[in-house]
Amino acid sequence: MILSNRKNITKIQLVFFVVVIALFCSLVLALPRISIPLSLAYILSLALTPIVETLMSLKLTKTQSIVLIFIVLAVLIGLPMFRLIPLLSAESQNFQNIIPRIESYIIQQFQYVREFVKLRTGHEIGDAYVYQGLEEMQNWSASFVVRIPNYIANIMEWIFLVPFFTFFIIRDSESFKRTLLSFTPNVIFERFYYVIHVFNRQLGNYFFAKFVEAVIVGGIITAGLLLLDIKYAVILGFIAGLTNIVPYVGPFLGVGPAIVLGMLEYGMTSPTMGAIITLYAIANVVDIFFVFPFLVSKIVNLHPMLVAVSVIVGSHYMGITGMVISIPVVAAIKLIITEIYNEIYTERSR
């Protein structure tokens, strides 16, 4: 009687635990407005925790070290942003002015062709498609301009939410973990604790390595662009470092703005353009041959094909964020599957 009663309680504990976890996961997945800043904050906290630990060993309290890191980061990220925002608003003004000009140019050209064809063949070309196309383009640009405040609102929300979440995740991760462990059923306690520990450590190592990699690549590019005396060198270097976090695709995303800027400022075939492309190539070669093999690949041991597939799947579901978090998530899934495999195939079958 007692035994059966106890078994029931164990089962109830297990069910309760699984339900709480599932509820939390589904809630986060169902609300991308929370889950995206939350996962970004989690990634940031993982990358920053080693620095916090180092500062804490210098006799600072946890809160003091986090605040210190935040101030440094705010200066490092904030200054380029202050330069970027006026530039962006000026560019979007330009964009709005350019559109009517493009439109009148197209109509003018179309009129010429029409006259020309009528003169030669006596037929008149229908103009419905051209006007329809133009109208669509106008609508699209209008809706894009209308949606800009929306995007900005989103970004503003993130600017406040991500540091907010990051701060509390770093500060209170211990107590979160203890709360979670306190109602973990005895049956799975040791295994569960071990898995979340290894999971956090792997993810932490991965993002710390990525963080270092981004700083190195961004630093090389910024220094190079400054030497070449190119406008917005700091911003371009910052973008290159940031996009470098995405495996494989990142370097191409990073070089995009530099090519566009170089084209506008110096022209496609100018020597400066060649220098810019060479610089990006050098930075990526350094990354691929010297940084990546020593830092990142030892931490996440995944087949390159699996990496490519997970990046694509991640981008499909969560955009850029998905691309960034896909690798560690796949690594974590691999870890959990390995753990379950070991449980099923090696220990119990002995």
Q: Which residues bind another protein (CB under 8 A)?
A: 2-3, 6, 9-10, 53, 56-57, 178, 181-182, 186, 189-191, 193-194, 197, 342, 347, 350
User: Could you give the CA distance from residue 256 to residue 262 in angstroms, rounded to a whole number?
Assistant: 10
CA distance 217 to 241: 6
DSSP characters for 37-73?
A: HHHHHHHHHHHHHHHHHHHHTTT--HHHHHHHHHHHH
What is the residue type of 318?
A: M
Q: What is the DSSP string of 195-224?
A: HHHHHHHHHHHHHHHHHHHHHHHHHHHHHH
Minimum CB distance to another protein, residue 59 (Å): 12
Helix (H) or strand (E) holding 156, with range, is helix 128-182
| Residue 161: burial class (beta carbons within 10 Å; 0-12, 13-18, 19+) | middle
Closest approach of another protein to the CB of residue 216, in Å:
25
Nearer to another protein, 204 or 262 (CB): 204
Smaller CB separation from another protein, 5 or 150: 5
Task: Name the token pair of 335.
Answer: 């870890």
How much is the CA Rg of the chain, to the nearest whole Å?
27
Least Cβ distance, residue 1 to another protein (angstroms): 12
Closest distance to another protein from the beta carbon of 263 (Å) = 50
Smaller CB separation from another protein, 9 or 76: 9
Q: C-beta of 7: minimal distance to another protein in Å? A: 9
In the complex with another protein, the residue whose CB is nearer, 53 or 172, is 53
Nearer residue to another protein within complex by CB, 114 or 191: 191
Q: How far is the CB of 268 from another protein (least distance, A)?
A: 53
3 state DSSP class of 24: helix
Could you tell me the CA-to-CA distances from 49 to 41, 42, 67, 95, 119 in Å, in that order? Answer: 12, 10, 13, 42, 75
Least Cβ distance, residue 16 to another protein (angstroms): 15
For another protein, the closer of residues 56 and 73 by Cβ is 56
- Residues whose CB falls within 8 Å of the CB of residue 335, separated by 6 or more in sequence, listed in order: 195, 198, 199, 202
- 123 vs 350 by CB, closer to another protein: 350
